[in-house]
Amino acid sequence: MEQEVLRAPLVIEYPFSRTVGPAVSAFLTGLREQVLVGVKGADGRVIVPPVEYDPVTAEELSELVEVGPGGEVTSWSWVAAPRDVHPLDEPFAFALVKLDGADVPFLHVVKADESAMATGMRVTATWKDEREGHITDLACFIPEEGQ
């Protein structure tokens, strides 16, 4: 006689806190203060968000650089019907933005009409009123005046 095996849900957790490291910590602190921060790579390129080690040479990086708040859209994809998990509740673009002073584009969102979106357009950062040192402190990018 075969018996059904009884099962009970069990959640195993291991809560912990960790440091985000000096580069990401500087980036998140900058966001809280409405400042965008990158790091200068071994070849002089400015990378945003900053990383601790050069992606080509693996050298440790520590020269932080303020960038933006404006930049240029290098590529974008339109989100016509945002879902609950998206950062905005109205249509928007995910965009790679090469911030002024940076050499590597940064992925974020642009709040604009689809007809206004274009590769090469200028955008500027907008911030949440209450910031806590999180990527969402940077609310979105919007087209610069005259775009």
User: Which strand (E) or helix (H) includes residue 64?
Assistant: strand 64-67
**What backbone torsions phi and psi does residue 92 show, to the nearest 5 degrees?**
-155, 175
Query: Domain map of the chain by residue range?
Result: 21-143
Q: What span, in angstroms and rounded, lies between the C-alpha atoms of 139 and 76?
A: 17
Does pLDDT of 140 surpass 70?
yes
> What integer pLDDT is reported at residue 27 of this predicted model?
97
DSSP-assigned beta bridge partners for residue 98? 72
Does pLDDT of 120 surpass 90?
yes
pLDDT averaged over the chain? 95
Q: Which residue has the higher pLDDT, 17 or 96?
A: 96
- Using one digit for the tens of pLDDT, what is the confidence trace for 57-79? 999 999 999 999 999 999 999 99
> What integer pLDDT is reported at residue 70 of this predicted model?
98
Q: Return the percentage of the chain with pLDDT > 70, whole number.
A: 99
Q: Give 108's contacts (C-beta < 8 A, 6+ positions apart).
A: 94, 95, 97, 138, 140, 141
Does pLDDT of 147 surpass 80?
no
List the 64-67 sheet strands across, edge first.
46-47, 36-40, 64-67
- Using one digit for the tens of pLDDT, what is the confidence trace for 9-67? 999 998 888 889 999 999 999 999 999 999 999 999 999 999 999 999 999 999 999 99
For residue 99, what are the CA distances in angstroms to 38, 88, 142? 10, 21, 13
